[in-house]
Homo-oligomer: A and B are copies of this chain.
Amino acid sequence: MLGSLVYVGGMPLEEALDVRAIDGARLGDELDAIGYRGGAPLPARPPHAFVELHIEQGPVLEEAGVLIGAVTGVQGISWQEVTVVGQSNHAGTTPIRLRRDAALAAARIAVFLRELADRYGGDQVCTVGKFDVFPDLVNVVAARAVLTLDVRNTDEHALRRAESEIDDFLRTVAETDGVEISVRRLARFEPVEFDDRVVAMVERHAAAAGCTVMRMPSGAGHDAQMLARTCPTGMIFVPSHKGISHNPAEHTDSRDIEAGANILLRTMLELAEADFR
């Protein structure tokens, strides 16, 4: 979503062009290399309205047996990378009481995060997707562990409360397990609410086309959340088979895509005539 962020003025163009990939490649150089570096002035003039059609990338529509999602907004996202430093020791010769086990502390954090999600309920999701330990050997107590915490909620207050609880828990684990814990923030976006007039329009056109429809938040980030800063914005979701995305098995039926595209068309035609001033 870097492009849409720059488009709406959320990041200076030069800063974006200087972003480097994990392999060291610089975005500006790569755009030059393929002739994709544009020359339009940025930030750009806000559009009249913005509607994005997307696969859900989740299992909710399919599970509910509903064809169209009228997306109400995008969950706030808190990404943190947690590094736990303990002491590497021989797994056979080091009594439990003398250990400072980084892998164990990291595992406690992962279990805590799920418990937090269960307690909060509703739209709260929490994920430890990345979990690396070092030296990662069967007979060596881990000296270091690095894990990521992905926490999302549609409610900014809940998100802040979760972050604060996590801070407290990390301090507790550092003490009980004798490890040092440091945190690096990888990303933080507040929840975004789409324009209710656009959401209602999507809902109405879906129903008029005879499609089942439900309101739902987006758990994934989308360009629409950037555009929402500058103009009335909405999104249309179509089902993802088994909720799978970013994976070769990602699939949405052609008929579902066609239905979504028709609702996008009708919504765009109505928006073209709408006066939002």
Contact = CB atoms under 8 A, between A and B. Distances in A.
Number of copies of this chain that the complex holds: 2
Interface string A76-109: 0101010000001111111110100101101110
Nearest to A240: B93
Contacts of A93: 56-60, 218-220, 243, 245
Contact of A139 (B81, B108, B129): B129
Interface in A114-173: 114, 117-118, 124-133, 136-142, 145, 148, 150, 152
Interface residues of A, number: 62
A203 to B, nearest CB: 20
A95 B60 contact: yes
A254 interface: no
A244 interface: yes
A59 B92 contact: no
A31 interface: no
Contact of A92 (B98, B131, B139, B219): B219
Contacts of A128: 103-104, 107
A233 interface: no
A89 B106 CA distance: 21
Contact of A129 (B125, B140, B148, B221): B140
A246 B90 contact: yes
